[in-house]
């Protein structure tokens, strides 16, 4: 019923998230009245059904849910630990220690190993999932509910349940939190740095830029909906993605672990803005970039709203048509390492007046794009890349 109401427009957009929250609370209370402690199961089923309805506003509601979750989980942890004496954790005996070790090194690994048999997952992924299992709010909440009832029913050792659970939470969060990155890298499941560039829109110019960045050991992924436009990138040895980057299937099929920047350089400004808006939540609003339009005035009512765009890169005249035209005129990408003797000023003096500074790569591998809202200021040791007419000086 709620899904149909959302689809048919019976609920205004600004009320969808609040109505969803009220509905969850209502379902929880109603189910708990029918069967004690059934509210959690009812709301879980409600979430599963809702998530499979493919509602058009599900992303906004999911974001609202994340905000509420952070606030509620933080509050519940405070409430549950308000009456917990830290000395109770220190007084846990060897039985509790044996239970913690069994959960960490026996129960979880055996469970994951059995449940993933026949799935084709490599042993590295199975091992990582078997080790990483930090406990949190669910275990703490269940312990807080069951411990008082067990004490009332005459189980004297029930007073150790809450301290044991919080000892498990602290142990798993510390061990898994500090080891997941190191372990994933050692097993080849994570990249050392997220300094890769996702280039959306294949063109002769963007393919040449990708080749230049790849020679500097920057991971590159070029995505386009046209196999014909991707062919030069594939022949150049670049990693490519064929399909619509905004589709769920495409997102699930691409490996984006090493991607830290998104550069939208298609010939459609509105599409570039949509791509930047989509990936801003993953890589950060400051790391999504797109080409400027002919009129970059953010107060121009005819253009895409500034809040929906990525950051304008390179220069005011670095529009799609102009870059492509200069590429066909013989302009090339030049990469130069800056030293104490040959710094940024010397590099600018040796370049012609029409040269477009594109980006520079810092000594640690981070990529810094030249944007219209921030001065281009590389330092000694950085490698700068410019788009230059090498026939003129």
- Identify the bridge partners of residue 22 per DSSP, sorted by sequence position: none
Among all chains, which residue has been given the structure tokens 């050392």? 192
Residues 6 or more apart whose CB falls under 8 angstroms from that of 27 comprise 39, 42, 43, 46
Looking at residue 295, its pLDDT comes to 57
Please state, in angstroms and rounded to a whole number, the distance separating the CA atoms of residues 150 and 264.
59
Confidence of residue 339 (pLDDT cuts 50, 70, 90): very high
Looking at residue 300, its pLDDT comes to 52
Instruction: Say whether pTM exceeds 0.85.
Output: no
Looking at residue 197, its pLDDT comes to 94
| Strand residue runs (E) in 131-210 | 196-200
* Average pLDDT, integer, range 339-353: 86
C-alpha closest to that of 205 among 362, 304, 314, 293: 314
Please state, in angstroms and rounded to a whole number, the distance separating the CA atoms of residues 360 and 371.
12
Mean pLDDT of all residues in the chain? Answer: 85
Looking at residue 206, its pLDDT comes to 94
- Identify the bridge partners of residue 197 per DSSP, sorted by sequence position: 220, 261
More confident residue, 153 or 321: 321
pLDDT tens digits along 105-125: 998 899 999 999 888 888 888
Instruction: Please say whether the beta carbons of 183 and 131 come within 8 A.
Output: yes
Please state, in angstroms and rounded to a whole number, the distance separating the CA atoms of residues 256 and 121.
19
Mean pLDDT lowest for which of 22-26, 88-92, 180-184, 262-266? Answer: 88-92
Please state, in angstroms and rounded to a whole number, the distance separating the CA atoms of residues 347 and 336.
8
Looking at residue 64, its pLDDT comes to 83
- For the chain, domains (ranges, CATH) are 2-81 (no CATH), 86-186 (no CATH), 196-388 (3.40.50.720)
Instruction: Please say whether the beta carbons of 61 and 20 come within 8 A.
Output: yes
Altogether, the residues listed in the chain come to a count of 393
Residues 6 or more apart whose CB falls under 8 angstroms from that of 54 comprise none
Instruction: Please say whether the beta carbons of 239 and 224 come within 8 A.
Output: no
**What is the β-pairing status of strands 311-312 and 288-290?**
parallel
Looking at residue 296, its pLDDT comes to 52
**What is the β-pairing status of strands 332-337 and 383-388?**
antiparallel
Confidence of residue 222 (pLDDT cuts 50, 70, 90): very high
More confident residue, 248 or 370: 370
Please state, in angstroms and rounded to a whole number, the distance separating the CA atoms of residues 275 and 290.
9
Looking at residue 302, its pLDDT comes to 59
Mean pLDDT lowest for which of 124-128, 162-166, 279-283, 289-293? Answer: 162-166
Looking at residue 374, its pLDDT comes to 84
* Average pLDDT, integer, range 264-269: 92
Predicted confidence (pLDDT) at residue 298 exceeds the cutoff of 60: no
CA 59, 61, 67, 71 dihedral sign is negative
pLDDT tens digits along 27-63: 999 999 998 878 888 988 988 888 888 777 777 788 8
Instruction: Please say whether the beta carbons of 226 and 233 come within 8 A.
Output: no
More confident residue, 8 or 323: 323
Looking at residue 67, its pLDDT comes to 84
pLDDT tens digits along 352-392: 778 899 999 998 889 999 998 888 889 999 999 999 887 66
More confident residue, 281 or 295: 281
* Average pLDDT, integer, range 241-259: 85
pLDDT tens digits along 185-197: 888 777 777 889 9
| Inter-CA distances, 110 with 68, 171, 224, Å | 34, 19, 42
* Average pLDDT, integer, range 173-177: 86
| Inter-CA distances, 86 with 15, 73, 95, 162, 295, Å | 43, 20, 18, 11, 62
Mean pLDDT lowest for which of 180-189, 212-221, 262-271? Answer: 180-189
Please state, in angstroms and rounded to a whole number, the distance separating the CA atoms of residues 9 and 5.
6
Q: Is 326 helix (H, G, I), strand (E, B) or coil?
A: helix
Looking at residue 225, its pLDDT comes to 92
Percent of the chain having pLDDT more than 90? 33
Looking at residue 393, its pLDDT comes to 55
Predicted confidence (pLDDT) at residue 94 exceeds the cutoff of 70: yes
């Amino acid at each position: 019923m709620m899904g149909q109401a959302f689809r048919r427009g019976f609920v205004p957009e600004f009320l969808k998230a609040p109505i969803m929250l009220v509905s969850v609370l209502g379902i929880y209370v109603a189910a708990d009245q029918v069967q004690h402690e059934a509210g959690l199961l009812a709301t879980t089923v409600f979430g599963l059904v809702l998530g499979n309805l493919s509602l058009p506003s599900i992303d906004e509601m999911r974001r609202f849910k994340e905000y509420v979750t952070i606030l509620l989980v933080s509050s519940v942890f405070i409430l549950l630990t308000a009456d917990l004496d830290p000395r109770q954790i220190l007084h846990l005996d060897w039985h509790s220690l044996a239970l913690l070790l069994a959960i960490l090194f026996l129960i979880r690994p055996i469970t994951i190993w059995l449940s993933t048999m026949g799935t084709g997952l490599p042993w590295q992924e199975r091992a990582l999932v078997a080790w990483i299992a930090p406990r949190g709010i669910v275990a703490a909440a269940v312990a807080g509910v069951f411990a008082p009832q067990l004490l009332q029913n005459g189980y004297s050792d029930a007073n150790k349940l809450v301290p044991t659970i919080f000892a498990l939470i602290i142990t798993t969060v510390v061990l898994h939190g500090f080891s997941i990155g190191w372990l994933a890298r050692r097993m080849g499941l994570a990249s050392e740095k997220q300094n890769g560039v996702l280039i959306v829109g294949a063109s002769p110019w963007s393919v040449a830029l990708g080749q230049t960045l790849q020679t500097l050991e920057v991971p590159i992924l070029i995505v386009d909906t046209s196999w014909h436009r991707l062919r030069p990138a594939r022949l150049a040895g670049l990693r490519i993605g064929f399909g619509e980057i905004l589709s769920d299937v495409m997102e699930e099929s691409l490996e984006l672990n090493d991607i830290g920047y998104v550069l939208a350089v298609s010939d459609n400004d509105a599409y570039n803005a949509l791509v930047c808006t989509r990936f801003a939540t993953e890589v950060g609003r400051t790391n999504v970039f797109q080409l400027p339009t002919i009129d970059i005035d953010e107060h121009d009512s005819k253009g895409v709203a500034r809040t929906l765009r990525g950051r304008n890169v390179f220069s005011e005249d670095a529009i799609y048509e102009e870059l492509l035209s200069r590429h066909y005129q013989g302009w090339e990408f030049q990469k130069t390492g800056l030293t104490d003797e040959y710094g940024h000023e010397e590099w600018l003096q040796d370049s012609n007046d029409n040269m477009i500074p594109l980006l520079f790569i810092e000594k640690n591998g981070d990529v810094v794009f030249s944007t219209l809202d921030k001065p281009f200021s590389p330092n000694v040791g950085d490698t700068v890349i410019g788009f230059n007419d090498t026939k003129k000086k």
